[in-house]
């Protein structure tokens, strides 16, 4: 029997199959089919010639969620919130990155004001009811949603992270009265505070939910029609997997599923090579992703922002996401001149349809892939396993735009495109390393993606890493990483409390509640027993008056407030170079990461003669 992983990228759809008896890996790749993504998945299975009866596990990741958001192709969505908070999405936050830009414009909310509704209800920050919820108030909202042909509704009430009863009742009422409409309650996605971030997260989940439900239903129906009769798992952004059914209700947790799998794979490769400090770089057809792995630990954050740039605050997503920096630079990135004649590369990509000019599928714009072909890096007769013969003449014609703009030869124009692409990648690598206090000379660089190996030497030399590691089959690395991933879910509960008011008993009570949730979740989703689960506990703390916090690890055995405070002071000094021992401390969020131990494929090292 074997395990099958499928990863859909902007340009290619990848497949990796692991035969558990023989230890043999099979890899296949086909162009992504944007009009029907299931076709690309089916094509890779067909090309790999895998007997469906030999597949006992299927895991899938891809760009369905993030593409629907970035292309604004989600469902028509409404928001129901507490009276007085209708404009929370519009107000957003004042700490924009481009502070001195007088022409700054806020990102446009995903829900227009006419579809943002208020109902009378109120809880305080401890979850105590101040004003009850009158479900009859929702009837007018329901009628308006019907009239507007709303496809999805997000519900977010103030302080529902402390007590979700009002949200739960409202969401159920809406589901009963609006059959066929996807309803998301914010507490179902996160129990972490901050009303704007929770509202935006709930809205984005609702926005993509109908699309993901249709896609997963179609994919599962198609694969089962081909004879697959096994559990179906989805790769999450937190570096773990979950069931299709849970993913369809919580699709925002899949926003960075493919890149997260690649980071997992990089951590495993580093461990096998005896390297715990790794900088990971993945260059695909559309984007480049990079992340830092310190002491063999993948960093996961809930401060993720979609479409964030140095001048754009983006859209916050309060779900656990592997800490990744992503830029619009890949093999399909188009080279172009701006209005003042400056050469640019990306973020627009030729994708898979029509693809780079050299694919011969109708593309006419010069891309990074065309530049690699014209500089002799790519073999025109052996691309994508020999199934695509690259057209040198088409690449030359496309590159003529750059030749005319720079007044150089074709080869020099191609080199200019590659140097600019490398400069964009090195800026991203420095952002995740040097600008976050890491010395690249202490790290190794692990590269993946179809373009990673081609750029690795230049980027590694510029960054100054100790060593560059290129794993076997780097073009399939994210799909391979999915096979080395365990079921995982992160639980969080905000309970803002002064350290002086907290006891060890209260700490144990909060973590016991999170642990109970985790055990129930894995029992329902994976049939896992408590003995199969591993737990990691953490607490977010801050000095009184601070806005943000520092997370410290916690162990249930011998848990005490004094030990936690001691660890916090040390962690704060490490992060910010100072500590305030005499300043009151607040405990903010309590975190639990739970993973289920499952059999994973073994990795065979290369023998002395080369490939094993």
What does the block give as tokens for 374? 């014209």
Query: Which residues are CB-contacts of 420 (< 8 A; sequence separation ≥ 6)?
Result: 335, 343, 344, 345
Cis peptide before 35 (omega within 30 of 0): no
Q: Tell me what the mean pLDDT of segment 188-217 comes to.
A: 95
Model confidence over 443-472: pLDDT tens digits? Answer: 999 998 888 889 999 999 999 999 999 988
Residue 342 CA to residue 339 CA, distance in Å, equals: 7
Q: What is the pLDDT of residue 9?
A: 81
Query: Which residues are CB-contacts of 500 (< 8 A; sequence separation ≥ 6)?
Result: 584
From residue 25, alpha-carbon distances to 5, 453, 471 in Å are 11, 20, 14
Q: What is the pLDDT of residue 602?
A: 67
Enter the DSSP assignment of 286.
S
Model confidence over 91-111: pLDDT tens digits? Answer: 998 887 888 888 888 899 999
Residue 396 CA to residue 371 CA, distance in Å, equals: 9
Q: What is the pLDDT of residue 43?
A: 87
From residue 226, alpha-carbon distances to 1, 498, 574 in Å are 17, 58, 54
* Sign of the CA dihedral running 70, 76, 77, 83: positive
From residue 169, alpha-carbon distances to 81, 125, 328, 531 in Å are 13, 19, 42, 34
Percent of the chain with pLDDT over 90: 59
Q: What is the pLDDT of residue 516?
A: 95
Model confidence over 273-295: pLDDT tens digits? Answer: 899 999 999 988 888 889 999 98
Model confidence over 113-169: pLDDT tens digits? Answer: 999 999 999 999 999 999 999 999 999 999 999 999 999 999 999 999 999 999 999
Q: Please give the residue that has the higher pLDDT: either 22 or 392.
A: 392
Q: What is the pLDDT of residue 612?
A: 45
Q: Does the structure show a pLDDT above 60 at 610?
A: no
Q: What is the pLDDT of residue 608?
A: 57
Percent of the chain with pLDDT over 70: 98
CA-nearest of 207, 324, 352, 335 to 262 is 324
Burial class (CB in 10 A: 0-12, 13-18, 19+), 83: middle
pTM for the full predicted model:
0.88
Q: What is the pLDDT of residue 272?
A: 87
Enter the DSSP assignment of 606.
P
Model confidence over 394-444: pLDDT tens digits? Answer: 999 999 999 999 999 999 999 999 999 999 999 889 988 888 888 999 999
Q: What is the pLDDT of residue 519?
A: 94
Enter the DSSP assignment of 355.
-
Q: What is the pLDDT of residue 155?
A: 98
Q: Tell me what the mean pLDDT of segment 215-231 comes to.
A: 90
Q: What is the pLDDT of residue 346?
A: 83
Model confidence over 573-605: pLDDT tens digits? Answer: 988 889 999 999 999 999 999 999 877 766 666
Residue 304 CA to residue 324 CA, distance in Å, equals: 9
What does the block give as tokens for 218? 């179609």
Compute the mean pLDDT over every residue in the chain, rounded to the nearest whole number.
Answer: 90
Residue 512 CA to residue 518 CA, distance in Å, equals: 10
From residue 125, alpha-carbon distances to 130, 315, 394 in Å are 10, 24, 63
Q: ∠ CA 173-174-178 to the nearest 5 degrees?
A: 125
The dihedral region occupied by 177, where left means phi > 0, alpha psi between -120 and 50, and beta the remainder, is alpha
Model confidence over 168-184: pLDDT tens digits? Answer: 999 999 999 999 999 99
Model confidence over 490-510: pLDDT tens digits? Answer: 999 999 999 999 999 999 999
Q: What is the pLDDT of residue 142?
A: 97
Q: What is the pLDDT of residue 315?
A: 92
Q: Does the structure show a pLDDT above 70 at 609?
A: no
Q: ∠ CA 180-181-182 to the nearest 5 degrees?
A: 115
Angle 504-526/561-576 helices, nearest 10 degrees? 80
What does the block give as tokens for 297? 């630990």
Q: Tell me what the mean pLDDT of segment 74-87 comes to.
A: 96
Query: Which residues are CB-contacts of 77 (< 8 A; sequence separation ≥ 6)?
Result: 110, 111, 115, 150, 151, 152, 153, 154, 203, 206, 207
Q: Tell me what the mean pLDDT of segment 198-211 comes to.
A: 97
Q: What is the pLDDT of residue 607?
A: 62
Q: What is the pLDDT of residue 34?
A: 80
DSSP string across 486-514: -BEEEEEEEEEEEGGG--HHHHHHHHHHH
Model confidence over 515-543: pLDDT tens digits? Answer: 999 999 999 887 888 889 999 999 999 99
Q: What is the pLDDT of residue 100?
A: 85
């Amino acid at each position: 029997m074997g395990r099958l992983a499928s990863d859909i990228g902007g340009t290619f759809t990848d497949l990796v199959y692991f035969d558990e008896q023989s230890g043999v890996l099979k890899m296949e790749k086909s162009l992504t089919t944007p009009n029907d993504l299931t076709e690309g998945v089916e094509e890779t299975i067909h090309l790999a010639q895998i007997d469906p009866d030999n597949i006992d596990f299927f895991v899938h990741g891809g760009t369905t969620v993030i593409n629907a958001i970035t292309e604004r192709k989600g469902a028509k969505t409404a928001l129901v919130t507490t009276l007085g908070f209708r404009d929370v999405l519009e107000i957003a936050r004042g700490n924009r990155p481009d502070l001195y830009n007088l022409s700054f414009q806020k990102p446009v909310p995903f829900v227009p004001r006419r579809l943002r509704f208020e109902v009378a209800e109120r809880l305080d920050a401890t979850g105590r009811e101040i004003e009850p919820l009158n479900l009859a108030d929702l009837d007018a909202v329901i009628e308006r949603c019907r009239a507007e042909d709303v496809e999805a509704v997000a519900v977010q009430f103030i302080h529902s992270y402390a007590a979700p009863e009002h949200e739960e009742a409202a969401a159920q009422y809406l589901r009963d009265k609006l059959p066929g409409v996807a309803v998301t309650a914010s507490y179902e996605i996160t129990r972490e505070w901050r009303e704007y971030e929770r509202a935006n997260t709930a809205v984005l989940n609702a926005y993509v939910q109908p699309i993901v439900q249709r896609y997963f239903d179609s994919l599962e129906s198609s694969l089962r029609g081909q004879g697959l009769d096994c559990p179906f798992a989805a790769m999450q952004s937190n570096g773990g997997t979950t069931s299709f059914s849970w993913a369809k209700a919580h699709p925002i947790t899949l926003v960075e599923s493919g890149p997260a799998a690649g980071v997992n794979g990089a951590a495993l490769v580093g461990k096998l090579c005896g390297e715990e400090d790794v900088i990971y770089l993945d260059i695909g057809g559309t984007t480049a992703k990079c992340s830092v792995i310190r002491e063999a630990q993948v960093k996961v954050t809930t401060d993720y922002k979609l479409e964030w740039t140095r001048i754009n605050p983006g859209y916050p997503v309060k779900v656990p996401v592997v800490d990744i920096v992503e830029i619009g630079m890949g093999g399909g990135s188009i080279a172009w001149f701006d209005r003042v004649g400056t050469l640019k590369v990306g973020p627009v990509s030729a994708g898979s349809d029509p693809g780079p000019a050299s694919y011969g599928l109708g593309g006419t714009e010069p891309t990074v892939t065309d530049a690699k072909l014209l500089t002799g890096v790519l073999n025109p007769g052996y691309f994508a396993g020999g199934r695509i013969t690259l057209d040198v003449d088409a690449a030359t014609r496309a590159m003529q735009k750059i030749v005319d703009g720079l007044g150089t030869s074709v080869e020099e124009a191609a080199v200019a495109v590659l140097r600019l692409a490398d400069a964009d990648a090195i800026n991203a690598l420095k952002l995740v390393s040097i600008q976050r206090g890491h010395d690249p000379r202490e790290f190794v660089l692990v590269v993946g993606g179809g373009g990673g190996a081609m750029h690795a030497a230049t980027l590694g030399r510029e960054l100054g890493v100790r060593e560059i590691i290129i794993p076997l089959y780097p073009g399939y690395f994210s799909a391979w990483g999915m096979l080395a991933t365990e079921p995982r879910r992160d639980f969080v509960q905000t309970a803002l409390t002064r350290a002086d008011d907290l006891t060890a008993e209260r700490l144990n009570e909060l973590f016991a509640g999170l642990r109970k949730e985790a055990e129930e979740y894995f029992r329902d989703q994976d049939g896992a027993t408590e003995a199969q689960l591993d737990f990691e506990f953490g607490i977010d703390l801050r000095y009184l008056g601070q806005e943000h916090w520092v997370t410290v690890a916690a162990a249930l055995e011998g848990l005490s407030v004094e030990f936690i405070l001691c660890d916090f002071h040390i962690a704060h000094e490490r992060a910010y170079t100072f500590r305030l021992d005499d300043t009151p401390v607040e405990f903010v969020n309590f975190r639990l990461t739970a993973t289920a131990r499952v059999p994973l494929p073994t990795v065979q090292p290369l023998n002395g003669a080369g490939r094993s």
